[in-house]
Amino acid sequence: MYNQLYESEKPVERFLFIVNPVSGSGRAKAEFEAVKPLLAARGVPYDAVYTEYPGHAAKIAADAVASGCRRVVAVGGDGTLSETASALVYTDAALGALPLGTGNDLTRVARFPAKPADAVANLVAGNIVKMDAAEANGLFFINVAGFGFDADVLAKTLKHKQKHPRGMTPYLLGILDALKHLRPIRMVIEHDGERVETEAIILTVGNGQYFGGGMRAVPMADLFDGYLDCVYVEKIGVPRFLMLLPGFLKGRHIKNPIVHHFRTKELRVETGEACVLDYDGDLRSSTPAVFRVLPGALNVLLPGDAR
């Protein structure tokens, strides 16, 4: 649950909006133009900076915090939000969001308001709560990280985007390619004094619940409980996995006996071969990996009734 700090009664502070102009196939840039009059109507002082390359949002946010900025708003999708948040960990700056990307997986759980007018009202209200973050091999993530099938889908989707830069086509082709190459991964999982040796096709570590634009991979995860929830799927073939996949949309897959869940503050995973890690939709690092929760690491602007 949320750990509320305070609801500001002070004059509105100056905001920095970090806008990813390519998020949502250009939707973020276009809709931010519609947000500007709403900010003006409420007398909100702000600056806006547009990202130009991967990783730019993190740099912009870090520079802003170093200059004393205390309100930073990510305008875009999950990648923009994750990058921005990474620069605000354990600072006194607060993170806001205008969820205008394609997936918006994190905002489904954190409940950042989706409508522009509601989002602006939330920012102005200044209600701040402490939210967990996480890291794997020392690299930040805010929502979900892991490896296996989901990381394979992401890698193949990025490849297809070179020919199909817009729409769902690259994602669907990525899924098909990943299914063609579905393979079990030998792994050893260690947490809380336990050791599990298994073969699995996916391991997902969730601070949040969703990945892949709405798949509820880790339905028990809570952004405010100080724990990571971990799910892995035992070795199965493509036909059985295809039967399991629809359950990911609503989190019903967790009831299947081949799907395993545990909750921890830290885990270590070793694999028979190095597997690339997916961090909030970004491929970075590889196994072996150590995952850790960062309890209450972020100050986040959320509605007082969001819980």
Q: Where are the domains of the chain?
A: 3-131+297-301, 139-295
Determine the Cα–Cα distance for residues 220 and 229; give it in Å rounded to an integer.
7
Determine the Cα–Cα distance for residues 92 and 76; give it in Å rounded to an integer.
22
Contact status, residue 69 vs residue 16, Cβ threshold 8 Å: yes
Tally Cβ neighbours within 10 Å of residue 84: 28
The pLDDT score that the predictor gives to residue 305 is 59
The pLDDT score that the predictor gives to residue 2 is 42
Q: What letter would DSSP give residue 91?
A: S
245 exposed, middle or buried (CB, 10 Å; 0-12, 13-18, 19+)?
A: middle
Query: What confidence category does residue 108 fall into, taking pLDDT thresholds of 50, 70 and 90?
Result: confident
Instruction: Taking residues 95-101, report their average pLDDT.
Output: 87
CATH topology of domain 139-295: Tumour Suppressor Smad4 (2.60.200)
Summary mean pLDDT of the chain = 89
Instruction: Taking residues 53-79, report their average pLDDT.
Output: 94
The pLDDT score that the predictor gives to residue 103 is 67
Q: For the residues of 226-276, what is the DSSP string, one character each?
A: S-EEEEEEE---HHHHHHHHHHHTTTGGGGSTTEEEEEESEEEEEESS--E
Query: What confidence category does residue 7 fall into, taking pLDDT thresholds of 50, 70 and 90?
Result: very low
Q: Which long-range contacts (CB under 8 A, 24 or more apart) does 246-255 make?
A: 248/212, 248/215, 248/216, 248/217, 249/214, 249/215, 249/216, 250/216, 251/209, 251/216, 251/217, 251/219, 254/219, 254/220
Q: In this predicted model, what pLDDT tens digit does every residue of 249-259 receive, in sequence order?
A: 889 999 999 99
Q: In this predicted model, what pLDDT tens digit does every residue of 139-171 receive, in sequence order?
A: 999 999 999 999 999 888 888 877 877 777 888
Question: Does the pLDDT of residue 244 top 50, yes or no?
Answer: yes
CATH number of 3-131+297-301: 3.40.50.10330
